[in-house]
Amino acid sequence: MERKVSLLGFLLAFSENLDNQVPEKRRHSSRVANLSFFIADKLGLSDKEKYDLTISALLHDAGNGNNNFKNSSKEIDEHALKGSLFISDIPFLENISKIIKYHHIAWDFGKGNVYKEDPVPLESQILFLAEFIDHTLNKQRYILKERNKIIKKVKEEGEKLFNKDVMEAFLSLSNKESFWFEVNYDTPSPEDFSCDLKLDIDGLLLLSKAIARIVDYRSKIQVRHSRNVTNVASYLSEKLGYDPEIIKKIKIAGYLHDIGKVSLPSSILLKQEKLSQKDTDYIKVHPFKTYLTLKKGLPYEDITIWASYHHEKLNGKGYPFKVSGENIPIPARIITISDIYSALLENRPYRPGLSENKVLSYMKRLVTENYIDKDIFSIILENREEISSVIKL
């Protein structure tokens, strides 16, 4: 029986990682999702509408590499537009993309109900208020101590920023202590929604490609890295004769191998000079964060291992698990080699991409030192022209 992936379950694990990049935003997406759900429920939205809104809340900051909060009825916020574009070509996220696109359109006394003749979804207007509330919340204080301040702020900004019905729904909920406790301490669950989408391997592959765009954008120095790794890994897998279903799983591992990086501080991810030893030590946590995220979000142990082992070495000198030899599966070795090959060819702020000859010379040394698999690397050597064509720099 084919295993299915809960869309909500996976995105809960991913959004937790996204939020951890900025300490004061921990659990931000979960709180926004809770706020959105309760307001939507008060307004009588359907289960499917509440589900789509919850998914939108978990992904609403996908295009945001910083902590800015802007609003206007005249223009779409840049991070909302980017977040929408990252997922716009995924059929089952089409409605989510639209909700995210318009979630910073201010109500502006009704002017924000339409944007350039395109209706702004009610779900976008709910998400806008929910995010505003969480940005106003001082996370260092007890939640009930913040209640009156938030209510006052919402009322002050209300007519200008928020849909009247959405604002009134929130205000009617705000007198209940349980509302604030559920917002702050509870987490959405797939079990809350009978309509939770269950993805087969093809759906997961589509989702993984979108997640790779978000991951690479967050880093900015590696705008296509995850996709390059996946393209190389797919090529090597085909040459090794893997069947199409296994190749799909290897591609998913390629797209998701750096998913743990989105929790790292932007001061490291966006650093313009070569990383210090302290930075290097800190960045070693990212494959373990990949492991934790995929362990929580996927029912595929093999994909989780293949993605998480991309910094392991055959001689046991890699990180963070220090596995070696036969304990490193062949697909994991493929991801490792694809990662090294792609990274060395790509430009970095502190160095230009290396020439193909220099990359191959360096990787030959890695083979000699028993870091990487000789047989897999030989495929690159024997097919230099073909494999270089799958990399986009």
Residue 204 placed within a domain = no
Mean pLDDT of the chain: 92
Residue 352 placed within a domain = yes
173, 192, 211: which is the final residue of a domain?
Answer: 192
Model confidence at 278, in pLDDT bands (50, 70, 90)?
confident
- The residue with greater pLDDT, 264 or 137, is 137
Kindly state whether residues 335 and 228 are assigned to the same domain: yes
Q: Find the mean pLDDT for residues 106-135.
A: 90
| Helix, strand or coil, per DSSP, at residue 6 | strand
Q: How many domains does the chain have?
A: 2
Residue 207 placed within a domain = no
pLDDT, position 69? 46
Residue 208 placed within a domain = no
pLDDT, position 340? 97
pLDDT, position 67? 44
Kindly state whether residues 134 and 254 are assigned to the same domain: no
Residue 199 placed within a domain = no
Kindly state whether residues 157 and 230 are assigned to the same domain: no
Kindly state whether residues 54 and 102 are assigned to the same domain: yes
Cα separation of 29 and 343, whole Å? Answer: 31
Model confidence at 363, in pLDDT bands (50, 70, 90)?
very high
- The residue with greater pLDDT, 143 or 24, is 143
Q: Find the mean pLDDT for residues 29-52.
A: 97
Cα separation of 165 and 146, whole Å? Answer: 23
Q: Where are the beta strands (DSSP E) in 53-167?
A: 114-115, 118-119
**Quick one: angle between helices 330-345 and 244-256, nearest 10?**
50
pLDDT, position 109? 66
pLDDT tens per residue across span 281-295: 888 999 999 999 999
Cα separation of 105 and 160, whole Å? Answer: 11
149, 177, 192: which is the final residue of a domain?
Answer: 192
- How many residues comprise the chain? 393
**Is residue 120 left, alpha or beta, with left meaning phi > 0 and alpha meaning psi from -120 to 50?**
beta
The per-residue DSSP string of 117-128 comes to TEEPPHHHHHHH
pLDDT, position 131? 95
CATH number, residue 310: 1.10.3210.10
pLDDT tens per residue across span 99-109: 999 999 988 86
Kindly state whether residues 182 and 239 are assigned to the same domain: no
Residue 197 placed within a domain = no
Kindly state whether residues 252 and 179 are assigned to the same domain: no
Model confidence at 220, in pLDDT bands (50, 70, 90)?
low
pLDDT tens per residue across span 163-195: 999 999 999 999 999 999 999 999 999 999 999
3-state helix, strand, coil in the chain (%, to 5): 65, 5, 30
- Please, is 245 exposed, middle or buried when counting C-beta atoms within 10 Å of its C-beta (0-12, 13-18, 19+)? exposed
Distance from CA of residue 36 to its chain's centroid? 20
pLDDT, position 65? 55
Query: Kind and range of the H or E element at 347?
Result: none
pLDDT tens per residue across span 72-86: 544 567 888 999 999
Residue 289 placed within a domain = yes
145, 177, 192: which is the final residue of a domain?
Answer: 192
How far is residue 35 from each of residues 10, 263, 293, measured CA to CA in Å?
Answer: 20, 23, 24
Cα separation of 256 and 250, whole Å? Answer: 10
Kindly state whether residues 181 and 240 are assigned to the same domain: no
Percent with pLDDT over 90 in the chain: 74
Kindly state whether residues 136 and 228 are assigned to the same domain: no
Kindly state whether residues 243 and 360 are assigned to the same domain: yes
Domain assignment of residue 248, given as a range: 219-388
320 preceded by cis ω (within 30°)?
yes
Residue 163 placed within a domain = yes
Cα separation of 169 and 191, whole Å? Answer: 25
The amino acid sitting at 175 is: N
pLDDT surpassing 80 at residue 158: yes
Burial 190-226 (b: 16+ CB within 10 A, else e): beebeebbebebebbbbbbbbbbbbbbbbbeebbbbb
The amino acid sitting at 313 is: K
Residue with tokens 């590499």: 65
Kindly state whether residues 60 and 102 are assigned to the same domain: yes
Cα separation of 79 and 214, whole Å? Answer: 11
Kindly state whether residues 169 and 294 are assigned to the same domain: no
pLDDT surpassing 80 at residue 237: yes
Kindly state whether residues 105 and 251 are assigned to the same domain: no
Q: Where are the beta strands (DSSP E) in 78-182?
A: 114-115, 118-119
- Nearest to residue 332, comparing CAs of 354, 304, 292, 369? 304
